[in-house]
Structure 1
């Protein structure tokens, strides 16, 4: 499955189960829409199934259907009809339906001779004699207790119905009742809604069907709550015409617009889009040191943004040992001495660590805890999280402590605005398994209820406030008045936390292009290659945003950026085949050290 471009599910819960399995068992990173596998993205699509509405509308007008309607109405004259059709499977909730109907007759004796449940059962996927026996016993019990010689409240049909009779029953029913306990897209509910185009009678629908999330006009129930279902049956039978019409209108409009053709086209379009996107994805090009050196030399106002771990210094088993080399310190010092440069180190480390190892460099800006704390050059530290509610940290620490006790070699690092679980020194196979378990628990039980973001780093798992990320601090720096006239932007990082910086830088470049396009459309049009589409803004957006630019695209990007005299270099450190929003790649931290040393001596 994971070698597919797209995987389609009828319901969101099915997709969620696959994500959990991939996270817990395979240790893969996933989101509700994407599973990361072998540096590729497997897209998850929620594609329900619909029905052929036009065909059903035409069929229900046939004379044979009309004849059967009249016959059924004569047979059940003066009675309210509740209709259900299900397979004889344990998950289809036939017993739950019968229990609820029995309770309804018990709660409301005035309805005992005024309502009939017509239950059609078609053979299931396997023989289930025990279930069939229980269903038969329950029907016999209800009919003997609440029926008479002249009338039985439950009419049970154990066979396939011919299509005309099935449509006729759905047209004249006063209530549709579906009580499945586990199901995908229940097409019977959709067919009932279409057949009720004229009468607009209500539908009771189990919350465990795949259609429950889409059909908002239905009365949703938990089939295991027998008393509630019984009360809802009564409420639907006495529902006024205005409410019936409103509920049916909502349901019918959805079913009409989201028919089988709509969902088929949606899935095909999703597959085509995903395949096209993935076919365009190539290795991120290695950074052209000659190009960046020339750009640096010719620029007059520069902003240089650097991650710490994995970028300026290699990842180490003991985080406290990840200290910058003398070469790195010297290069950063030289960069900061150049008045044309604004140099920042933006890290997930706390302010104390950054102060200790980089605080002596004059003119260097520092950002700790992913932007939660900043120290502008020649100023004191400033907190950006004072107004945030950090009470969630206690709950997260308890969870991390639980996994630390069970994972030898792991430890918890508590910062002011974030908390991290490290497992670099643990047995990697077992630690990865524990990390997946912890991550899955946090995503399912914590992330949706607290204002936090969960990040999977290199041999660590971090929880931080949603409002705090590296992209926010980069945005602040780019919008700062001190960076007006910026003509050189360099951003380097190595992991998922740095993608926020790359995205912010890309969006900043795109905003400049759009601004220049609006101000000088003729100038920009003259620079566009002949092969570009008529939608110039769209063309520029694609070229600038694509991290895997061809040489022609790079030349074009350079020309576009020069409209505002800005050269932007976003660099991911490490594997060049992994997906990133960066334009360029360097293999190791040593390449970054060599680069900043070369730039510091290049002016």
Structure 2
């Protein structure tokens, strides 16, 4: 595996004797990824941290480091300029204004191209390449053009903004297209995923279906993958005698205060350091009892020190600290201890263990790993976490005291509550937090992302080997039609048959292929089932760009102009007064017949009733069937549909064949493929034309053209159809563009 990030996980420093010394670099990305890459013996491509420095690749702790050289001008324009003065504030809710300069954009493109070219050189054939964060958003597309054989994942560690903010960016389309070069795009939270999908639709007119996008003839997955830390290692470090001794010494050096309040942040305007200092000042000014014998420690890791905005921010923070100590400090006992430096992991762990209250108050943060580090270090079960609700961590660490950092009174109240929390309440909070952090660690995050990335590989080649030759030939022929209707049943087709209909679930592989098919131009996808429409919606989940037909055609979903489902309109057949009266009588009669038999279940539908016999004794099932056939099935205006261990009686004359023909007419389709397993699907097979394809799932007599074994093969068929039609439509598009 090859990882690309702006920084190497180690600062490479050239020594006077010409050798290179590696020192682990600060930052959440390094904390999260370094352990994984070391275990995998992968390669990491990144900038070593010093401009105008040419360094050779080196290997340390099982990890090959590939340094990328940046000139001083590129550091100014690509890193401090476009990355941190244009993108960073924009992606953090514009808490500071962004600057837009064309030379910065040019430098950003140049450096991204350099990273892409190095990755193309380093990656083995078919390798996995994992690109990280906002500094390298053009690399996926650039690398895709250079090395179409590699699998590309991109993960954004900071928030992805809503359209109202992102659209301010003059190069918004280029950034979106750059990201869409990846096979998988990951975000910290579902909100970032939703923002990206909406922008892909609005800016680039990208067809989407759930977490699947189609761009440039490829499928791209998007999803949320909340990052974490190596929590077991952090806990083990905090449990060492050396760390506990250092924590005791720290308290003693501070004069053994009743409470220690801790803040650990990069010195950045998004971190809300001024917010907590202001809240602490007000508590001191009010002589609040909670701070009578409390001291605050603020560790501010140096960050982007050449940027004027950061220089001014540091000056402001240090003025706040000086004012606090001048007004409320005593000889040998300042109110705030301020450290503007990076601390080694062992020393930082001692601060975590010593602190009674951890304050994490960013105005906006993609995740915030400091909060998780504090929790992991509290092996003693003590300590209280005060957490901004605008961090990604707030979604996971729900037991923390959460505050709005824009509300000084709220932060002050939260700090007071944290200082006054009883030992019992604090331990209860920490138990819950530790359970979350220790379970959802960095390995779980990486495994989730990499498994999803592996799942983006084209499985159609393997699927082809599992399908009969006649099926493959039929798919090749039907995929060439101009406008294709792909129809499929649900139970026994997308989902294996189960005893309890409520427990049926579609195979994820089949749903993924269906959603992918729905994004191909000139392709209409429909699920045609005997189930009610509401039931179908619940079982299928995300169904944008898919037509749903329920109750054997009595209910048809309507779609909005953008292809999304319109839940307020079902297209349900309206019952006449006579039919409604007949339906009520039918329900009463069936209830009377079935109530004496165990294992027989009735399912009410908008235009009828389904009698499920699968759970009944075979003799009871025969008795129920005979009673129904002799009475309600003979009523005028009642229609009997037979399925596998299901009898369905309706007061509306409809079937899947009529529904399929209606869909084909409405969508001007030139060809149909329908896949089904049941007796009720035979009406659909009989309605097909000579150039259409019917696919029977399972055994039994059929009017279908070809047969496959089970729902697993349905998933294979849909994947092959998707790949075949996508290739064909790509050729059509290229031919059209040449004419």
TM-score range, shorter-chain basis? 0.5 to 0.7
Q: CA deviation at 1:3?
A: 3.2
> Cα gap change, 1:272/1:225 in structure 2, threshold over 3 Å: closer, same or farther?
same
SS class of match (1:90): coil
Equivalent in the alignment of 2:388: 206
After superposition, where does 1:125-136 map in structure 2 within 5 Å?
125-127=304-306, 128-136=310-318
2: CA distance between counterparts of 1:194 and 1:255? 7
Unaligned runs of 5+ in 2: 1-178, 465-471, 481-521, 523-546, 574-602, 611-637, 645-654, 683-697, 702-707, 733-739
Corresponding residue for 2:183? 5
The Cα RMSD (Å) is 4.8
TM-score (norm 1): 0.54
Does 2:691 match 1:542? Answer: no
Contact 2:364 2:390 in 1 (8 A): yes
Verify the 8 A CA contact 2:235 2:378 in the aligned structure 1.
no
2:360 maps to 178
Specify the alignment match of 2:477 in structure 1.
Answer: 286
Alpha-carbon distance, 1:15 to partner: 2.1
Preserved contact between residue 206 and residue 214 of structure 2 (Cα < 8 Å): yes
Partner of 1:193: 375
The Cα of 1:42 is off from its aligned counterpart by 1.2
Counterpart for residue 93 of structure 1: 272
In 2, Cα distance between equivalents of 1:495 and 1:273: 36
Deviation, 1:469, is 7.9
Q: Please state whether the residue corresponding to 1:483 is helix, strand or coil.
A: strand
1:159 partner SS: coil
Alpha-carbon distance change, 20 to 148 in structure 1, aligned in 2, over 3 angstroms: same
Aligned length: 382
Q: Using structure 2 for the length normalisation, give the TM-score.
A: 0.45
Q: Do the aligned partners of 2:229 and 2:372 also contact (CA within 8 Å) in 1?
A: yes
3-state DSSP of counterpart to 1:91: coil
Q: Deviations over 1:399-446 (max 9, x none)?
A: xxxxxxxxxxxxxxxxxx98xxxxxxxxxxxxxxxxxxxxxxxxxxxx
Mapped partners of 1:549, 1:78: distance in 2: 65
Q: Which of 12, 15, 25 does residue 203 from structure 2 map onto?
A: 25
1:465 lines up with 2:564 in the alignment: no
Is 1:152–2:301 an aligned residue pair? no
Given that residues 368 and 391 in structure 2 are in contact (C-alpha distance below 8 angstroms), is that contact kept between their aligned partners in structure 1?
A: yes
Residue number in structure 2 paired with 1:456 = 562
Q: Residues of 1 paired with 2:390 and 2:459: CA distance?
A: 35
Once residues 549 and 699 of structure 2 are traced to their aligned partners in structure 1, the CA distance between those partners, rounded to angstroms, is 39
- Determine if contact 1:89/1:124 at 8 Å carries over to the other structure: yes
1:37 and 2:215 aligned: yes
User: Could you tell me how far apart the structure 1 residues matched to 2:403 and 2:374 are?
Assistant: 17
2:184 and 2:460 mapped to 1: Cα distance? 11
Query: Matches of 1:495 and 1:90 in 2, distance apart?
Result: 59
SS at match of 1:82: strand
Partner of 1:555: none
Of 217, 228, 235 in structure 2, the residue corresponding to residue 50 of structure 1 is 228
Gaps of 5+ in 1: 290-314, 316-368, 377-383, 386-416, 419-452, 513-523, 528-536, 551-570, 581-586, 588-603
Q: Partner of 1:577 in structure 2?
A: 726
Shift of 1:177: 0.3
Residue deviations 1:90-110 (CA, integer Å, cap 9, x gap): 111111221222233234532
Cα distance in structure 2, aligned partners of 1:251 and 1:498: 56
In structure 2, C-alpha distance between the alignment counterparts of 1:93 and 1:248, rounded to whole Å: 23
Report the CA distance between 1:33 and its aligned residue: 1.9
Is 1:233 aligned with 2:415? yes
Equivalent pair of 2:228/2:369 in contact (CA under 8 Å): yes
- The residue matched to 2:343 in structure 1 has which SS? coil
